[in-house]
Amino acid sequence: MRRTFSLSFLLGLLSAQSLWLGTIVSEKGAPVAYAIVQHNTSGKWTISDENGYFNFTGAFNAGDTIIVNRYGYNIKKLVLPSKTSFIIQLSVNPIILPQITELGSRTVPDSRQDFFTAIKPASLGETEYNQLLQGIPGLSIRSYGGPASIKTISLDGGPASHTKILVQGFDITNIQNGETDISQLPLPFIEQARFIPVATGSQTGASDGLILLDPWSTGHRIQLSTGSFGHHATSIATTIAGPKWASRFLVGKRNDSGNYPVTWRGDTFNRQNNHFEQNYAATQSSLILSEQLFIKFLFLYSKQKRGVAGLVYSPSTAQRDDNILFWGATSGWITIKSRRHFRISGQSSKDHYHDETYNINSTHSLESYTLNFDQSTELTQSFTIDFSLNYSIDHLNSRDAGFQKRNTLVNSIGLAWMPLKSMSIKPDWQHYSISGQVDESVSQITAEWSPESLTNFTAMVSTGNSIRYPTFNELYWVPGGNIDLKAEHTTNHSLICKQVMSNWGDLSVQLFTKQSKDLIQWVPQGAYWSPKNIKSVSRTGWRLSWRWVFERIPIDGFLSLGRVRAKYLEPGDHYKKQIVYTPQQTGAAALTWSPRRWTLHWQAHHTSEMISRYSWPEDIILPGVTLQQISAGYRFQVFSGKLHLVIGLENLTDKIYESVQGYPEPGRTWRLTITYER
């Protein structure tokens, strides 16, 4: 009886939800930051970010009225279209701004146009991050096999430390190794990923760009899933809100026994010690203090217990317990000629590794605190100046890397000039000061053109350089740390074109070259690995992304392609060879058909062969692989709400493959997801 009452109470909290994605722009096509978007009937609202982007979730339907309000612009009422992804254009309020143009009137402030986007539709049920992120061309996920392994993201053949991962504008990079383990982020926590190839401002080390992860926006939901190799997961999301405040809450749990059959050298056996347990809680809050001032807050706590299976030919019984606690607050305010935001965040984590076989008992504790201030001010109708200051304090207490501390101060200034209404030119300068060991400046210039004669077309060309200082592990890890490492320097050249086609979706293409000096790479040194500087590495390539939604027929999908030639240019045995773990070609495609109550989905991803280790007389090669996933979903009314049932198959053709040499991935898996919304 008690269980029946509890379930009924939870279901009573829920309401039928739908997701709407939008971008708010000015009459000149510039993103409009910090606009308030409100649903007229329910009163639910959200705030666009500094790129004009917003997620909107609620019991909404095409034809409902929404109201968009932004200080300095005319209030706009519009009807929700049949498409759930759309653009809203605002016009300047001539009374408030009698003699000036709109704030951010250059084409793209901060050169942070998200040309490449990956969306996780709720209709696909619970999916792993690889299915979401495959929509970003040139992206690779390195995994050490199974649900318990750490998972990192890299782009264009660069190390994972070259790509910054931001959640709601906050950097969640691990300060010890310079990477982000996305297995610590619960699957329901992230809803969408956006890739910005050109990083400006204070994003040190982001020579391969930024991945912006948008947290969940669902209002009320209960989700259950079960699947292969003992997978079980439960999550509950709900929202409470007032006229000028809103808070979202997410709690959940995941368990995987994780052991799966593998084949090695003709023998088939079960890969053991892959268990994974995750418990988490997260919250988001927004508060509108006035038409010009708002506050946002984000919190995540995630705790993992996992086995470490080890190499396929050298199994391990080691255990790893890790957790991450992150919090961040943003205050944004607007005046007639400027916009500002102030961010403060903190991150702490603890990682305990225990291996009785080798008598290893290692603990790493991390703490990081960051203050960030950004301001964009319009000087004249043609000139806007941007200023950014980022200060961080990082602490590491590690059995293997010792006690380390680092203070980092990054100052950035940019000047945007609009010689024409359709063109902007912006030089940026950044100065880095790192614990008295680095005192250096880098620069970049970006030009963007959106000709009036070519509707919805944008071209952006950029050139510049970036710096990455060695991580704590690279400098101090025992054994293998190298205190003589130099900082990496990368010079980037890029051309990006984007065409928004009303009936055929969005098409983005990028051409790029990257020249890195003193690239840091871990190489074998006898019984252990050690980082060293590679004198010169050259990467040249292109990426393409096409996303489409057809209005007349319920079909949508995407195509993403990437190619990169990464050459090792240091004289020696490896001269002009492809950099290790760099596939020359990657590609992904997906189709989703949604007839009436059904959702049928197919997705494929291809990775070409790659060198996993230089050797003699031949290098060790990981074969290329093409993986496919399918799913079928059905939604129907039940208990005055909506019930979604989704069954999916990953690795449909049961391929044997590895993303890291010696760590085979699971074969064909299935997953059933049940989602109730009311």
Contact status, residue 72 vs residue 93, Cβ threshold 8 Å: yes
Residue 125 has pLDDT above 50, yes or no: yes
Which pLDDT value is given to residue 201?
A: 52
* 13, pLDDT greater than 70: no
pLDDT of residue 84: 63
Strand duo 170-171 + 190-196: pairing? unpaired
Q: Which residues are CB-contacts of 488 (< 8 A; sequence separation ≥ 6)?
A: 207, 467, 468, 516, 517, 518, 519, 520, 533
**For residue 114, what pLDDT band results from cuts at 50, 70 and 90?**
low
- Model pLDDT for residues 396-424, shown as the tens digit of each residue: 999 888 999 999 999 999 998 989 888 99
SS3 content of the chain, % helix, strand, coil (to 5): 5, 60, 35
Q: Taking the CA atoms of the chain, what radius of gyration do you get in angstroms?
A: 25
Q: By C-alpha distance, which of 308, 357, 354 is closest to 148?
A: 308
Token pair listed for 405: 């501390």
Reduce the secondary structure of 353-369 to three states and give it as a string. Answer: EEECCCCEEEEEEEEEE
Mean pLDDT of 128-151: 89
Which uninterrupted H or E stretch holds 12?
A: helix 2-12
Q: What is the largest CA-CA distance in the chain?
A: 78
Read off the pLDDT of residues 66-103 as tens digits, 9 standing for 90 and up.
Answer: 888 887 788 888 887 766 667 788 877 654 333 322 22
Mean of the per-residue pLDDT values of the chain: 86
Write down the pLDDT at residue 176.
Answer: 92
Instruction: Provide the token pair at 641.
Output: 């709400």
The arithmetic mean of pLDDT across residues 40-46, rounded, is 76
Report the share of the chain in percent with pLDDT over 70: 90
Beta-strand runs (E) in 435-527? 438-449, 457-468, 488-501, 505-525
* pLDDT at residue 182, as a whole number: 95
Give the residue with greater pLDDT, 96 vs 357: 357
pLDDT in tens, 471-498: 999 999 998 999 999 999 999 999 999 9
Report the predicted TM-score, pTM, of the whole model to 2 decimal places.
0.86
Concatenate the DSSP letters of all residues of 58-124 into one string.
ES--TT-EEEEE-TTB--EEEE--SSSEEEEE--B-TTT-SSSPPTT-SSSGGG----EEEE--GGG
Distance CA 659, CA 625 (A): 10
Output the pLDDT for position 8.
39
Strand 210-215 with 164-167, pairing = parallel
Closest C-alpha to 208, from 442, 555, 516:
516
What band does 50 get if pLDDT is binned at 50, 70 and 90? Answer: confident
User: What average pLDDT does range 622-631 have in this prediction?
Assistant: 96
- Mean pLDDT of the 597-611 span: 94
Please check the confidence at residue 120 and state whether its pLDDT lies above 50.
yes
Per-residue pLDDT, 82: 64
